[in-house]
Amino acid sequence: MAVEYDEFSMFHENAEEYGIPYDGPPTVRRVATQLDDGRQLSSLVWGEGEPEYFFLHGGAQNAHTWDTVALALGCPLVCVDLPGHGHSGPGRDGSLDVHANAEDLATVVRALAPEAKAIIGMSLGGMTSIALAGIAPELVRRLVLVDVTPTIDPERSAHIGAFVSGPESFDSFDELLERTCAFNPTRSVSSMRRGILHNAVQRDDGTWVWRYARFRAEDAGKGPSMEGLSPLWHVVSELTMPLLLARGMRQQSVVGDEDVAELLRRKPDAVVVEFADSGHSIQGDEPVELAETIRRFAP
């Protein structure tokens, strides 16, 4: 049985679950940005004015992961689907190359949010944001990293790899929901349901596949490695804009004490904010608190 999906129809659920005042559907539209090689990247543009913030999601996610944060902020902003994710086209060299992604994202930021007060990136999006700050610092007035540094600890990130590398397709929506809830025991079933509807698609034969799985073959063996990410520490050392690290403190976080220490060694004026009730996806665990932190950091 087909499951109906309207990506703009569920914002009231986000608001209700997190106690955000809601007086009707927000103004949100999907915009495609053409790249110089013919590929397109898709974004959600919130509001009518000049975007104040630009958001990049994590690997295997999509722009809708920021919905509750966007509702809590209540201002114009942009949430992009990274290359190979959501409604965007493929990456220049797979979906996980943070340096190629940064070059693509520079085009999107210039087109949609050139005056953004802050770039906010989570996980893969955070590493891409660091690379973006390195090649186009004029676009990154302030940088917010959500539970990520240029270090990937295989043990801390094992649970993420286990989930992402799961079955390529699912016989039913319920099967997909059950597996997702098992990997996210602290999240509500309703939030997991919304997340799946935004991040998966039902094929003509009734089976379900993750949107990012469309590019899984070309990404095989191309996950971010320390060899590819270690130069990002050098970028951090050279950053002049204010930087904030939002760190989840639950077991699912991928940031350790040694990562925070290295960040502060490289950039002593960086601000670190700990989220006691969050794992890796702070935007899903404590979205209102994250929004308040972003607003204070980049008013």
For the segment 25-36, what is each residue's pLDDT rounded down to a tens digit? Answer: 999 999 999 999
Active site residue 174: no
Active site residue 12: no
Q: What residue spans of the chain are helical by DSSP H?
A: 11-17, 67-73, 98-112, 124-135, 158-164, 173-183, 189-199, 216-219, 226-238, 257-266, 282-285, 287-297
The pLDDT tens digits for 77-136 are 999 999 999 999 999 988 889 999 999 999 999 999 999 999 999 999 999 999 999 999
- Six-digit token pair at 168? 């390529």
Domain 11-152+221-297 grouped into CATH 3.40.250.10: no
Residue 145: name the closest of 45, 290, 299 by CA: 290
- Set 43, 95, 123, 278: catalytic member: 123
Please name the residue that has the structure tokens 């186009």: 136
- Report yes or no: 7 and 63 within 8 Å, Cβ to Cβ: no
Residues in the chain: 299
Q: How far is CA 207 from CA 3, 98, 172, 247, in A?
A: 11, 31, 6, 36
| Average of per-residue pLDDT across 282-293 | 98
Residue 60: name the closest of 109, 150, 143, 122 by CA: 122
Per-residue model confidence (pLDDT) at position 228: 55
**Is residue 226 predicted with pLDDT exceeding 50?**
no
Please state the domain extents for the chain. 11-152+221-297
Residue 262: name the closest of 253, 272, 252 by CA: 272
Per-residue model confidence (pLDDT) at position 4: 78
What is d(CA 120, CA 108) in angstroms, rounded to the nearest whole number?
14
- Set 64, 85, 99, 280: catalytic member: 280
Per-residue model confidence (pLDDT) at position 168: 84
- Set 147, 219, 259, 285: catalytic member: 147
- pLDDT tier at 219 (50, 70, 90 boundaries)? low
Task: For the chain, give the percent of residues with pLDDT over 90.
Answer: 81
Q: Please, which residues bridge with residue 94 across strands?
A: 92
- pLDDT tier at 202 (50, 70, 90 boundaries)? very high
Active site residue 123: yes
Per-residue burial over 256-287, b if 16 or more Cβ lie within 10 Å, else e, is eeebbebbeebbeebeebebeebbbbbbbbbb
Residue 205: name the closest of 253, 175, 172 by CA: 172
| Average of per-residue pLDDT across 134-139 | 98
Maximum mean pLDDT: which of 14-28, 211-225, 226-240: 14-28
